[in-house]
Amino acid sequence: MRFLLSAFMLLSAVLPGQAVETAALERGTAITDPLALRELGQGRFGIDGMLLPERSSNIPLANGEVFHLPSMVPVRSAIDREFDRYIANHRQSLPNETIGVGEGFAFQLFDRAQLDSADTRFVLAGIVNRIDRAYVDEASCGEIRLIYRLTRTKPASGDTTAPSRLPMTLNLVLKAKGGPGIDRRGKAITCSEIAKRWLTAGELSLTGAALASKLLDEGGPLDLFGYQNIDRIETNIQIAHAPKSAARDFRTDYLLKVFRYDAAAREFREAPMENQIDRDRILADDGLRREFKTWLLDPKHLAEFDSGTVLIPEKFLANGAVAATPVGFENSGLQPEFGLMQGEGANSVFAETDVVFALKKAAADGMKLQNIRSVGGFERRLNDVTCSGCHQTRGIGGFHFPGVDWMAEKTVQFNGRAGIAAFLRRPGSPPRHPHRSAGWQASGLFAGIFQPPASARQHRVDGNRI
């Protein structure tokens, strides 16, 4: 799951003066036009249309029914278990700080009653193109993500403001190419064709229903997929918030989960989170600890770990994570992999000498690591390669996407081409993941489409690639 807002800014437009190679990487990365999203969300890309496609469009899924669908019952059960575990851990570790729903508690829990309320709904807040993730599964040509935000449909009791968003997102991840992999005319679809459709959409100057229609038309990027492409659900819930007080600084905890779709059972099932190293389980098992160290320090895996394309085996991964924020770079138990390095606990996995030896061996073998050049760099990567570590530091992970709120009284309109926004940096800066774009080129999946500038490979901050 590399898989959601601090490090990325959605800026107003694709920069007109950029080189063709850079523009090709930046156009068509996200659909953000509020009125187009409203049209799409009220049609086949509404959460009911995706999760219950056999239901008549004339009988929309009532608010509060999502987690009562047979396919979603396991999702709700797993979330409830995580809440119970979080509350129990809190009471054991912080017995003097109260926890519960409402402002009267030191730690204010997310109100799970909102998941069943008739006054909330999941609103389509954005569609993100992640074909950069083709390295995970080349046959799927990457992913398309439908991002839904839990939102009140009317003000809360006693509140005179407009309906507000609630701190939960549900990310429905689709394979960019799924099923038979053909278009309406029966022609095989290639990864390059999918990429071209998104780039072409990035040049449109439409909005609202006209844009939605164009995106869905034959030849449009959204024509190629629907509920048949569903791979998994990713959830992100602000499980608790602790305002600054005499006892503590401000803190907010986020619960991250992944549920993979089981087509045979027709339900979403709890699954290991991509690269979310299960620190506690590894530290408690001598055999697993030795096996993990051997696997990660293998030269091939170390190179992938350095480049950010590593896929850690599921036997080492956790099924959920709580990301505490804010967390700085100083070592602490709030970091997901604290305890794995020597000096952080009695049962650490990696000694400094283990890492130094692996780095020297890599250099002797002619391997040119770009990011991990010291024990400190290795330790940093242990954290930021995980879902929760990325969420905390925005080190290397996926797009942290705010989305738009078309239910608000005043909706901010991004002024990019057709609301097909790009996650841009300052003018002239290279792509955020040049190592991944180079991987696309090497794979041949997107031949002739993406050609990142060579200078991108040299852009770093403190030894870590932007």
The predicted-structure confidence for 246-265, as pLDDT tens digits, reads as follows 878 888 999 999 999 999 99
Residue 201 to residues 215, 265, 420: CA-CA distances in angstroms? 7, 36, 7
Residue 407 predicted with pLDDT over 50: yes
pTM over 0.95: no
Q: Which of 172, 177, 144 is nearest to 72 (CA)?
A: 172
Q: What is residue 69's predicted lDDT score, i.e. its pLDDT?
A: 93
Q: Which range (26-35, 163-172, 214-223, 364-373) has the least confidence?
A: 26-35
Residue with more model confidence, 12 or 345: 345
Please state the rounded mean pLDDT for residues 433-453: 48
Mean pLDDT value of segment 197-213: 91
Residue positions counted in the chain? 466
Residue 299, pLDDT score: 94
Question: Average pLDDT in the 90-117 region?
Answer: 94
What letter does residue 375 receive in the DSSP assignment? Answer: H
pLDDT band at residue 357 under the 50/70/90 scheme: very high
What percentage of the chain reaches a pLDDT higher than 90?
A: 50
Report the 10 Å Cβ neighbour count for 288: 16
Give 23's pLDDT tier (boundaries 50, 70, 90). very low
Question: Stretch 21-49: mean pLDDT, rounded?
Answer: 78
pLDDT for residue 415? 38
Average pLDDT estimate for 194-208: 90
The most confident of the ranges 49-53, 221-225, 259-263 is 259-263
Kindly state the average pLDDT of the residues 203-212: 91
Residue 107 pLDDT exceeds 90: yes
pLDDT of residue 22: 36
Residue 395 has which token pair?
């080190």
User: Higher confidence at residue 368 or residue 332?
Assistant: 368
Window from 70-79, 92-101, 156-165, 393-402 with minimum mean pLDDT = 393-402
Evaluate if residue 438 carries a pLDDT over 70: no
pLDDT at residue 286, as a whole number: 95
Mean pLDDT within 269-275:
96
pLDDT above 50: residue 429:
no
Q: How confident is the model at residue 49 (pLDDT cuts 50, 70, 90)?
A: confident
What pLDDT does 157 receive?
66
- DSSP assignment of 10-21: E-SS--TTS-HH
CB count, 10 Å around CB of 134?
Answer: 24
Q: What pLDDT, on the 0 to 100 scale, is given for residue 446? A: 57
355 or 154, higher pLDDT? 355
pLDDT at 423: 37
Q: What is the CA radius of gyration of the chain?
A: 22
The mean per-residue pLDDT over the stretch 281-302 comes to 96
Tell me how crowded residue 343 is: count the other CB atoms within 10 A of its CB: 10
Residue 332 has pLDDT above 90, yes or no: no
Mean pLDDT for 94-116 is 94
pLDDT of 456 above 70: no
Looking at residue 394, its pLDDT comes to: 56
DSSP one-letter string for 265-305: TTEEEE-PPTT-B-HHHHHT-HHHHHHHHHHHHSHHHHHHH
pLDDT averaged over every residue in the chain: 79
